[in-house]
């Protein structure tokens, strides 16, 4: 039986892209963990205690100590378990991986969320803005199976947000933000992801996921475009 202090616990939420990133990383590393599903509409005392600053999932607890912020957690996982590296070894390539992951979270995520619930000209502008950002990632994928090269890496894990949240929900939101005609490389990359065993294991099941998002949109009174 594992020592209590070796325990790895993940406070997460099954439909959250940020929580799923951590599950992907732990699975790549072959690390066993206890998953604690959190109700983000009614936050547990444990979550508030472990992440008092942001009060958000995911939180990784290792040796009883909490780590928050998904990209920080991914780097912690890579620093702690050295098998199957997630970040490149070369400092320049590492810096580029960090740059793109940050770009996904700070720019693409924000722009994509801005599309939801908009109509008419506002919607068109929000879609254009998101596509302009995605074009940088499209370029990055040329000649590569994954952002990480031959294998899944840091940027791929971060970018699952695009593949399985942004792109999956296009029908519900009512806007094809990432059409294959404009983004053939991204579509090819998604196919590569879907063929990967870790990804298949770690992403939310599609039907359940889409039902959840539809429900959320109804609750938040957001209509599809």
Q: Looking only at residues 119 through 138 of this chain, which bind another protein when binding is defined by CB under 8 A?
A: 136
d(CA 55, CA 69): 10
- 147 makes contact with another protein (CB under 8 A): no
Q: Which two tokens stand for residue 1?
A: 């039986």
Residue of the chain from 6, 30, 41, 91 that contacts another protein (CB under 8 A) = 91
> Is residue 168 close enough to count as binding another protein by CB under 8 A?
no
CA-to-CA distance for 4 and 1, rounded, in angstroms? 9
Q: Which residue has the tokens 């695009």?
A: 162
Three-state SS at 109: helix
Residue 110 in contact with another protein, rule: CB under 8 A? no
Residues 6+ apart with CB under 8 A from 125: none
Q: Which is nearer to another protein, 102 or 176 (CB)?
A: 102
**Environment class of residue 116 by beta-carbon count within 10 Å: exposed (0-12), middle (13-18) or buried (19+)?**
buried
Contact residue for another protein among 55, 102, 191, 201 (CB under 8 A): 102
What part of residues 14-73 is at the interface with another protein (CB under 8 A)?
53, 62-63, 65, 67-69, 71-73
Q: Which residues bind another protein (CB under 8 A)?
A: 53, 62-63, 65, 67-69, 71-73, 75-76, 79-80, 91-92, 94-95, 98-99, 102-103, 136
């Amino acid at each position: 039986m594992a020592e209590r202090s070796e325990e790895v616990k993940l406070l997460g939420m099954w439909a959250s892209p940020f929580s799923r990133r951590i599950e992907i990383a732990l699975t790549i590393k072959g690390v066993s963990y206890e998953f604690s599903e959190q109700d983000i509409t009614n936050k547990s005392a444990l979550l508030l205690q472990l992440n008092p600053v942001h009060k958000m999932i995911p939180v990784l607890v290792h040796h009883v100590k909490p780590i928050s912020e998904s990209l920080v957690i991914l780097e912690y996982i890579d620093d702690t378990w050295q098998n199957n590296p997630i970040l490149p070894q070369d400092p320049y390539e590492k810096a580029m991986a960090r740059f793109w992951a940050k770009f996904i979270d700070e720019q693409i995520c924000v722009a994509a969320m801005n599309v939801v619930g908009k109509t008419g000209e506002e919607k068109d502008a929000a879609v254009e803005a998101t596509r302009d950002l995605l074009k940088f990632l499209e370029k990055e994928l040329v000649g590569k199976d994954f952002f990480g090269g031959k294998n899944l890496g840091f940027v791929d894990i971060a970018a699952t947000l695009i593949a399985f949240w942004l792109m999956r929900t296009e029908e519900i939101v009512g806007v094809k933000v990432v059409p294959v005609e404009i983004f053939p490389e991204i579509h090819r990359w998604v196919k590569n992801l879907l063929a990967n065993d870790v990804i298949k294991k770690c992403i939310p099941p599609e039907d359940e996921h889409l039902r959840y998002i539809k429900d959320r949109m109804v609750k938040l009174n957001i209509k599809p475009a």
